[in-house]
Structure 1
Amino acid sequence: MPPSSSIEDFRKVLYESKSIVAVTGAGLSVASGIPTWRDPEGVWKTYDPATLATPMAFNANPSLVWQHYHAMRERALKATPNPAHLALSLLCVPHFRATVAPSAQFTLATQNIDGLSIRALENTTQKYRNSFGNLTEGSEADLSPIYEVHGRVLDTLCTSCGHRENSTTSPLCPALAMSDLGNVNPSIPVENLPHCLRCGGLLRPGVVWFEELPLYSREVWKAVDEADLCLLIGTSSAVQPAGAYAYEIADRGGKVAVFNKENCESDGEWHFSFLGLCEETLPHVLFGIGSSDV
């Protein structure tokens, strides 16, 4: 049986849900100017991921890897949250979530490394601060958690002392100033790459690479174990761990709703599917509002 595209039926499920987990992927941020890996502007059209996104690749050629992530950092710094990010941020706020799912808890697990989901929630809380009792100063503990399971490209991680730090400095070091993926300088000496201000160790991008475990796995799986509704947004259930979360919730009798630009092979296994640009479908399907209203 094909998944339903009935907004009315979905909203009934949403309204009756007790615990919601949303899992987002690269498609969420396309409208913010950040292409997916498979887009024509995506880096993987030119570079094999194995050459850039593994610990072994970094050890073998930290210069090339840093130049790649410098380009990604620049995109993230210039990007702003789009209506899809902002719609999800409303679900994080008890006041707004109560209008569509009055008894539900909400957890957002994002595979995106651009930091835009966090920035969207910051924008929303700033916009509505002092408008409602649960958005007054010091009450951020009432907001739903956002777990960036693949880390954040604007973070750095020291390979020596393990210190993690968020930095919006651009560039992180002078040697990266003229670098982009169309003008790679493979011979940047290691001593000219970013280094830790605490211990002097070589920094690496603070993202989760292939062969590494996602962050916050225990917290996300706890939410998944309690969830009765999963929202897959801008990601395929063929991608892990998104697929594992969705299957676990569905196997226990929960519902799965997919928000994607186009059909994926596994969509037929789920209960709802809303095709289209998620910056348009999410605000409308979740809250009945237009993309300009979030």
Structure 2
Amino acid sequence: MNNTKEKLVVLTGAGISAESGINTFRDANGLWEGHDIMEVASPLGWKNNPELVLDFYNKRRSQLFEVKPNPAHIALAKLENDFDISVITQNVDDLHERAGSTNVIHLHGELLKARSSFDEDLVYDWKKDICLGDLCEHNSQLRPHIVWFGEAVPMMEPAIEKVTEAGIIMVIGTSMQVYPAASLIHYKKVTAPVYFIDPKPNISESEIPNLEIITDKASTGVPKAISLLLHK
């Protein structure tokens, strides 16, 4: 390889974190941990029952401290030695960062941050529970720094820019069915190869140009994709 590192964008979803023991929010019946999605992941749910919403995310946050990055996270972090790599994740955990990835875009927010319900740009690092009565500097209640249904996805524009610049795309553990995140793949260069890693891929090679499907879970599929990348 030459001295200029090729731009690689990795899109990750719940599948990569599930191997670390993080429950995927959505069950087969459409509930999130036994709750209707709109109860815990919408502005209306927050307005109706902020205590329930805080409890839901407090449990998710505390679980983070019981898990650690898996081989897929670690392998991606090591790729920074060979590529100019950006990770765009739908996950709200910090496992990519803990594994050593230094350029991570969180589309749907971050569990380890809280933000003002008055000013969405006022964001705090936050590792403990958020409780009713925890206020920002404007005396407004703190809320999880999570993008809920019906809210804008502020990191979409930076993510689109990364995808349009990328020479290679890798998709790991996401069905690419949740919008707007699912639209990112359509911003890629026609010539950019896509490595799609999922044990049950729901995508066909006719849908995306230069698609290579690896039907493995993240921890075994990512090393396979990296081997292909480094020896292409």
Range of TM-score over shorter length: 0.7 to 0.9
Query: Of 110, 116, 124, which aligns to 1:158?
Result: 116
User: Residues 56, 243 of structure 1: CA spacing in aligned structure 2 closer, same or farther, 3 A cutoff?
Assistant: same
On the 8 A contact 2:93/2:112 being kept in 1, the answer is yes
Residue-by-residue CA offset, 1:44-78 (whole Å, 9 max, x unaligned): 26222112101121011111111111111111222
Determine whether 1:259 maps to 2:218. no
Q: How many residues align?
A: 223
Number of the residue aligned with 1:105: 84
Residue-by-residue CA offset, 1:69-103 (whole Å, 9 max, x unaligned): 11111112222111111111112x2xx22xxxxxx
Which amino acid in the other structure matches residue 121 of structure 1? G
Which amino acid in the other structure matches residue 156 of structure 1? A
Number of the residue aligned with 1:185: none
> CA–CA distance in 2 between the matches of 1:35 and 1:261?
17
Determine whether 1:213 maps to 2:172. no
> CA–CA distance in 2 between the matches of 1:28 and 1:210?
22
Q: Which has the higher helix share?
A: 1
Gaps of 5+ in 2: none
> CA–CA distance in 1 between the matches of 2:26 and 2:147?
19
Determine whether 1:167 maps to 2:126. yes
Question: After superposition, where does 1:215-254 map in structure 2 within 5 Å?
Answer: 215-249=154-188, 252-254=190-192
Number of the residue aligned with 1:149: 107
Instruction: Please report how far the alpha carbon of residue 221 of structure 1 lies from its aligned counterpart in structure 2 after TM superposition.
Output: 1.5
Number of the residue aligned with 2:137: 198
> CA–CA distance in 1 between the matches of 2:51 and 2:19?
30
> CA–CA distance in 2 between the matches of 1:36 and 1:111?
11
> CA–CA distance in 1 between the matches of 2:35 and 2:165?
39
Instruction: Please report how far the alpha carbon of residue 287 of structure 1 lies from its aligned counterpart in structure 2 after TM superposition.
Output: 4.4
Which amino acid in the other structure matches residue 97 of structure 2? I
Question: After superposition, where does 1:1-294 map in structure 2 within 5 Å?
Answer: 18-39=6-27, 44=32, 46-91=34-79, 93=80, 96-97=81-82, 104-121=83-100, 145-162=103-120, 163-169=122-128, 171-173=129-131, 193-196=132-135, 198-249=137-188, 252-266=190-204, 269-270=207-208, 271-287=211-227
Number of the residue aligned with 1:6: none
Which amino acid in the other structure matches residue 279 of structure 1? S
Gaps of 5+ in 1: 1-11, 98-103, 123-142, 174-192, 289-294
Instruction: Please report how far the alpha carbon of residue 105 of structure 1 lies from its aligned counterpart in structure 2 after TM superposition.
Output: 2.7
Which amino acid in the other structure matches residue 224 of structure 1? V
> CA–CA distance in 1 between the matches of 2:12 and 2:68?
16
The percentage of aligned residue pairs carrying the same residue is 29
Which amino acid in the other structure matches residue 149 of structure 2? F
RMSD: 2.7
Residue-by-residue CA offset, 1:160-205 (whole Å, 9 max, x unaligned): 3442111112x344xxxxxxxxxxxxxxxxxxx1512534321110
TM-score, length-normalised on structure 1? 0.68
On the 8 A contact 1:158/1:195 being kept in 2, the answer is no
> CA–CA distance in 2 between the matches of 1:159 and 1:210?
16
Which amino acid in the other structure matches residue 179 of structure 2? Q
Higher gyration radius (CA): 1
On the 8 A contact 2:109/2:147 being kept in 1, the answer is yes
